[in-house]
Amino acid sequence: MQELYNKLKNHTITEAIKIEESDRQFIALKKLWENNYVGADLVSAQYIYLSLILANTIICYQLSWKWEDYWDEFSDYFGLPPNLPLAGEEIVIENLIIFIKQSKNNKRFIDTKIKRLKKLEVFLEDFEWKEEYYFHNMEILRDELARTMKQKKDAKTIVFAVKMFNYWARNVFNKVNCFPESISIPVDSRLTNLFEKYKWNYTDINKFYFDLSKKLDIPELHLDAIVWVNYENLMNKKRCSWLNLNNKEYITYHDNQWGVEVHDDNILFEFLVLEWAQAWLSWETILKRKDSYRQAFDDYDLEKIINYDDKKIEELLNNEWIIRNKLKVNSVIKNAKVFIKIQEEFWSFYNYIWGYVNNKQIKNHFKDQSEIPVNTELSDKVSKDLKKRWMSFVWTTIIYAYMQAVWIVNDHEKDCFRY
């Protein structure tokens, strides 16, 4: 930890707060407050503004597009007078449900998110008049949210809600109230990577960041902002040589998705669909359409896909945000049926595909792209079996690329930080 401390010791909590308040979402919601609520009845305005934002944080996960774009969309929508909710927890929730049903950037798991909003109504009943109290007692806010949502106190969505509430309560009360030291930082892939690099003799990641926070005298939730803007330098990252470093979306995909173990059949099917779509095309062409594919194919709901009718197929073929190739579109429907049969036979597609390697990843040791094969005996074997099951677009090269993507085969180059 000492090495990481030495690299961060000149940073301050004041700097962290400036970083937080320079974010696009902070600026967008500050504008929402100043343009629509300043000058209104203060008690009602601060309740509507803060309850609306708090509720939105509860459903701000598994977005269809970038985080900043979603909060911009939220701010723009509720910045229009016809969309501004009146007082009352039910009205706030109803307005937010109307919003997410038409949102372009939050279209996944809508039914689940609506249930979460309904659950939050109980908390919002007693929220009015307590906004400033919670601003100065964030541990209590965390505990009551966790109890209402029936989640653990350190659950990411709970801690995140407290963090975002603090950000935008600053607009309402026109002051900064620092995060308490007792609320831990939500661990994500960035923090895990830093821990692995600097952990020294630590084995507990939470203890590592608690001690680092104490030593720096910066509460963990503020430390997160400093880590965020300095992450690349702290990691001194080297990546696979084939990666286009001018494409930020491609970098994010490489760092957080490609070659990450997947257990969820829904995601395993998604990767197959994207590999089928890529046939004869570049991966970057498909990557920029990744979210559009999920939206177009109903979040890869297999039961819906196998029942697509001619009208739905025509809709897909006219969708400019996906590859409008009739063979590829029809293959998704056909292959979904095969996928379900495999699930029925092996209890899950995960069991089927990982059975080929006895649930043990193949880790290669390639130095650069020139050494990486396009197919192997294993991909030949899987491809042959899937063809027998009447799955299409499963050539051995596609299957090998698929196994790389879902971590069955680790082909990150030896110098890559993800190796």
75 and 36 belong to one structural domain: yes
362 bridge partner residues: 409
Burial class of residue 46 (count of CB atoms within 10 Å of its CB; 0-12, 13-18, 19+):
buried
**Which of these ranges, 19-33, 156-170, 206-220, 257-271, has the smallest mean pLDDT?**
19-33
User: Which entry of 89, 131, 220, 275 is annotated as an active-site residue?
Assistant: 275
User: Which entry of 283, 293, 308, 350 is annotated as an active-site residue?
Assistant: 283
Residue 283 bears catalytic tag: yes
382 and 284 belong to one structural domain: yes
CA 392: distance to chain centroid? 30
In a domain, 181, yes or no: no
pLDDT in tens, 102-130: 998 888 889 999 999 999 999 998 888 89
Give dist(CA 272, CA 56) in Å, integer.
32
In a domain, 61, yes or no: yes
pTM: 0.60
Which residue range(s) make up the domain with 218?
2-10+186-235
Position of tokens 């039914």? 111
Domains: count for the chain: 3
Measuring CA to CA, which residue among 411, 342, 347, 332 is closest to residue 379?
Answer: 411
| 8 A C-beta contact, residue 63 and residue 290 | no
As a whole number, the mean pLDDT across the chain is 90
409 bridge partner residues: 362
User: Which entry of 65, 253, 356, 395 is annotated as an active-site residue?
Assistant: 253
Residue 253 bears catalytic tag: yes
pLDDT in tens, 148-205: 999 999 998 899 899 989 988 998 898 999 999 999 988 888 899 899 989 988 999 9
222 and 314 belong to one structural domain: no
- pLDDT recorded at residue 190: 85
- pLDDT recorded at residue 271: 95
In a domain, 56, yes or no: yes
SS3 for 363? strand
333 and 354 belong to one structural domain: yes
In a domain, 242, yes or no: no
Confidence band of 247 (pLDDT split at 50, 70, 90): confident
75 and 151 belong to one structural domain: yes
Residue 261 bears catalytic tag: no
152 and 201 belong to one structural domain: no
Confidence band of 235 (pLDDT split at 50, 70, 90): confident
For the segment 248-259, the average pLDDT, to the nearest whole number, is 86
Instruction: Look up the CATH number of the domain holding residue 123.
Output: 1.10.340.30
